[in-house]
Structures are given as C-alpha cells and as structure tokens.
C-alpha cells in the first residue's frame, strides 16, 4: 500500500477488546478456548507474536493507540473513574487538543464511526473525527442493561451488549458501504472484561462446563502482591474462567458476524481489518486475577502487557503469516497512517515507528537485542523489554525486577540482585531513562503522579490522578 493513493483508500475496521490476554485465542496456542472466527482472520492475515500495550490498564493504553503518545505525553495514567460522560460524572475531554489518527483519517475523507467502549472522557460528545458515536457511559459493567450513550442520550441496553455493539457496527457499514468516501469503524467490545459469573448466554457458558482450564493454572497461594479482595477469581476461579472464556467466544461469534457482513457485501477486498486488545489479563497466571493494577505494587508481567494483534487485508497483507517483530501500541498510529499513505505532522515528536515492512513481509525481523526494545509505563512503574530480557523499575515503592526471558519465560525468577547481570541491568536502565527523558512531558510525567491503580478522576498535572479504591466496573 505505502504512500500511493492512486486508487481509493481501503475501508478500515478496527476491533478492540477489553482485558484480553494474548494467551486467550486458539490461534495463539490455546487449545481449550473456542475462537474460530479470529482463528480464521489469522489464517487470512498476519498474526503478531510480540505486540505490547503501552500501559497495562485500559484508558492509558487506549489513549496511546489513539494519539501515538505515551501516557506521560497524553496525561492519561490510569483507568478513568470519572469524566466519561454519565450520571454523576464530570465531562472532561482528556485528549482535548491532542491529534488522534482518526482526526487525520477524517481530514483525508474518511467517515469515522465508533461502536462500543470509549473510556477517554466526555463520552456524551463525539470526538477525534468520529461522526457516528455509540459508546459506553463508563468503561465496563453489566452485559445486560449496559449503560450506553445513543444519540447523545444515556440509555440502558436490554440486550447482550456484545451483540448490540455489533448490531450498531453493522448498521454503520450498511450506511456507508455504497458511498464514494471510505469508512473507518472502531468496534470496541467491553468483552471479556468482568463481570463473568451469570452474565453471559448459556450457549457459550455450556461450552466450558467440562473444560479443565489447563491454559490458566491456578496457584494454591496468590501472588504476594495480589489484590485478593477485588475480583472473585480467587474464591470462584472455575466459575470466573467459564465466564471469561464464554465472553471471549461470544465476542468471537460477533467478529464472525462482521467478517460475514464484509464478505456478503463485497467489501472484503477493500477493507483493512485489525484486531487487538487494550491490555493483557491474568486469569490466575502468576497467582493474579487482573492486569497491571491486579497487584500492588503494579505489575508488568507479559500476561499484563502482551496483547494479540491480527491484521488482514485480502490481496495486500500476506496470508497465514506469523510475525515475530517486537512492536508496541505507540507504533500503531504511524503504521496505520503509513499503510494508508498519510502524513502526521507531529510524527517527529512521537516515539512510535511504522512496522509496515514487517507486516507486509518485506523486511526481515531484526534479531539483535539492541534494536528490538519496547517500553511501558504505569505511573511510577516503568519497563524496558527486549527479546531476551526485561527490567522493571519502580520509582517510589516496591522492588525492581529483572528477568532472563529466554531461560525463564514465565518470569518466575527475579534476578535483580544477581552479580552477573549488573552490567546489563545498568545498561538497560540508562537506555530506559534516556528514552523516557526524550519523550516525557515533565508537566504530566506519570512518575510524579500518585498512580496507585485505583483510577484517575482529574487531569494530570492539575490535581493528579484521583486516589480511589479499585472499582471492578471501572
């Protein structure tokens, strides 16, 4: 695709899930979960083995996907517990004045639609170039009677919200498919975010009644940092696993509805389809239920920061390919714009780089540790990760961590105090410090904010993230 816009640019459908670990798909090696439609998408596209979110919690990760900025550039450091546009919430537009990729798409003739989760503030009003706007009042919650925003009004949807989000997405496709201009559609499911027990259709929970859940081993003793009073996974692990797996399979069925719609309407050849999740999730992995804020101190385990990424475009993107390139959420915006042949005037100020050559199979994956590095932050917790090593630095509290991922892919042995690794640890720390120094806006630096994993209610740099108890429904 590249820079040429000689022919009509493709439509784009971006499917984003909520709290979905990379391990929870059949095409990623899970033999217990049923995801036939996403497996089909992977067969007809490229599956990325090493794609990482920018922060292991939803709102910061989503803001980074939208703007290409890291949290210490856009100022969203935790999930937003206020300001999303609902009863009793202030209408803060957290990304106001920050250019998102959908702004650029809209300026280049795309009609942009959103169906599903927003969770970046002021949900009552369309933002970032979107003209179609059906979104969640909060960031998660019940799957039936879900609090949504339709036509600028607060409503409760009686149907299963995964189905309803898809219904609205299909309506958007029907409205736009015959027009001269291409469309961009974000389908942002709340699945498989909690709640899980008694919340999903029986046809999906029945699939897992006899499942052994070997893909989610439960430890007798929770992680010493685990917030065991937050999610019911610690006391009802089997019931929660049934619900989590059912939520994924129900979402997968709805992805199938979208794929079938594109096929039936003759849109598949001219539609770029992208699937990913905002952050990872632990369903007992490491003795944790939750993501980055499932523990205190906040964690950076791969199960929290590594997410699925599948990209497909018939006749353009190679089919059935697995890409091992190391990529991050801050690379998403430059890659999409590169694919569509669009420029971003602010690109030089952003950390991300296009991985389009790796997507198209035109460039060998770089194997050297010097070149393949991703960075993460969650407030005062920062991470640098190469193919073989990970260093986690905690500024005010908690121990630092260092893992040899080649020998210990499960991140079970913290080698921070091992003498043989001290030169490498110092080298990685210097590299991490320099990277953040290059890109952080000092006025909204997450390392200076009181981010404890309990939610953010105000603008960073003003009052700082609100200190709240963890709210399961975000």
The candidate with the shortest Cα–Cα distance to 231, out of 270, 192, 265, is: 192
At 474 the pLDDT is: 42
Assess contact for 13 and 271: CB atoms under 8 A. yes
Q: d(Cα 459, Cα 250) in Å, to the nearest integer? A: 35
DSSP secondary structure letters along 29-84: T-SSS--HHHHHHHHTSEEEEEEE-SSSSHHHHHHHHHHS--HHHH---S-BSS-S
Q: Cβ of 96: how many Cβ atoms within 10 Å?
A: 11
Minimal CA–CA distance to 251: which of 160, 337, 141, 366? 160
What integer pLDDT is reported at residue 472 of this predicted model?
Answer: 39
- Residues 161-188 pLDDT 10s: 999 999 999 999 999 998 999 999 999 9
User: d(Cα 225, Cα 222) in Å, to the nearest integer?
Assistant: 8
Taking only Cα atoms into account, the Rg of the chain, rounded to an integer number of angstroms, comes to 21
Backbone phi and psi for residue 66, each to the nearest 5 degrees, phi listed first: -70, -40
| Mean pLDDT, range 267-293, rounded to an integer | 98
Residue 370 has pLDDT above 70, yes or no: no
Q: Identify the pLDDT of residue 471.
A: 40
Question: What is the set of domains in the chain, with CATH numbers?
Answer: 11-367 (3.40.720.10)
The CA-CA-CA angle for residues 400, 406, 411, to 5°, reads 40
Predicted confidence (pLDDT) per residue in 195-207, tens digit: 999 999 999 999 9
Closest CA to 410 of 436, 392, 390, 396: 390
- Which pLDDT belongs to residue 209? 98
Among 358, 373, 280, 356, CA closest to 321: 358
Confidence of residue 84 (pLDDT cuts 50, 70, 90): low
How confident is the model over 380-429, as pLDDT tens digits?
A: 999 999 999 999 999 988 899 999 999 999 999 999 999 999 999 999 99
The region, left, alpha or beta by phi > 0 then psi within -120 to 50, assigned to residue 88 is left
Residue 372's pLDDT is 72
pLDDT (average), residues 458-470:
60
Q: pLDDT value at position 91?
A: 77
How confident is the model over 3-56, as pLDDT tens digits? 444 457 999 999 999 999 999 999 999 999 999 999 999 999 999 999 999 999
What is the Cβ-side half-sphere exposure of residue 306, based on CA atoms within 13 angstroms?
Answer: 21
Q: Per-residue pLDDT tens for 210-262?
A: 999 999 999 999 999 999 999 999 999 999 999 999 999 999 999 999 999 99
């Amino acid at each position: 695709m590249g820079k040429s816009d000689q022919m009509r640019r493709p439509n784009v459908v971006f499917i984003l899930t909520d709290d979905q670990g990379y391990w929870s798909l059949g095409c990623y090696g899970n033999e217990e979960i049923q995801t036939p439609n996403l497996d089909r998408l992977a067969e007809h596209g490229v599956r990325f083995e090493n794609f990482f979110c920018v922060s292991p919690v939803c709102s910061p990760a989503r803001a980074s996907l939208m703007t290409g900025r890291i949290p210490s550039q856009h100022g969203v450091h935790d999930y937003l517990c206020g300001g999303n546009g609902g009863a009793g919430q202030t209408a803060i537009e957290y990304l106001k004045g920050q250019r998102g990729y959908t702004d650029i798409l809209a300026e280049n003739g795309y009609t942009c639609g959103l169906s599903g989760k927003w969770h970046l503030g002021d949900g009552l009003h369309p933002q970032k170039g979107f003209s179609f706007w059906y979104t969640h009042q909060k960031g998660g919650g019940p799957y039936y009677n879900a609090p949504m925003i339709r036509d600028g009004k607060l409503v409760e949807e009686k149907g299963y919200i995964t189905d309803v989000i898809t219904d609205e997405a299909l309506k958007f496709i029907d409205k736009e498919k015959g027009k001269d201009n291409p469309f961009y559609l974000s389908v942002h499911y709340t699945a498989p975010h909690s709640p899980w027990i008694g919340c999903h259709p029986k046809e999906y929970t029945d699939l897992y009644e006899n499942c052994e859940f070997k893909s989610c081993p439960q430890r007798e003793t929770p992680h010493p940092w685990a917030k065991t009073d937050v999610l019911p996974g610690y006391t009802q692990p089997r019931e929660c696993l049934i619900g989590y797996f059912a939520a994924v399979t129900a979402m997968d069925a709805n992805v199938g509805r979208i794929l079938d719609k594109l096929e039936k309407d003759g849109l598949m050849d001219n539609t770029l389809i992208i699937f990913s999740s905002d952050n990872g999730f632990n369903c007992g992995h490491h003795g944790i239920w939750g993501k980055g804020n499932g523990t205190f101190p906040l964690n950076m385990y791969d199960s929290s920061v590594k997410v699925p990424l599948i990209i497909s475009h018939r006749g353009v993107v190679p089919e059935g390919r697995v890409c091992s390139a190391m990529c991050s959420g801050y690379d998403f915006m430059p890659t999409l714009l590169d694919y569509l042949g669009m420029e971003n005037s602010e690109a030089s100020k952003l950390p991300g780089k296009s991985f389009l050559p790796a997507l198209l199979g035109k460039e060998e994956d770089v194997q050297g540790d010097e070149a393949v590095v991703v960075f993460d932050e969650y407030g005062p917790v920062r991470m640098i990760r190469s193919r073989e090593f990970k260093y986690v630095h905690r500024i005010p509290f908690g121990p630092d961590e260092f893992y040899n991922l080649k020998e210990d892919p499960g991140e079970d042995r913290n080698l921070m105090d091992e003498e043989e690794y001290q030169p490498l640890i110092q080298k990685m720390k210097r590299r991490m410090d320099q990277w953040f120094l290059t890109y952080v806006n000092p006025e909204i630096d997450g390392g200076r904010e009181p981010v404890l994993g309990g939610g953010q209610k105000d603008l960073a740099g003003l009052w700082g993230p609100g200190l709240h108890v963890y709210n399961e429904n975000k």
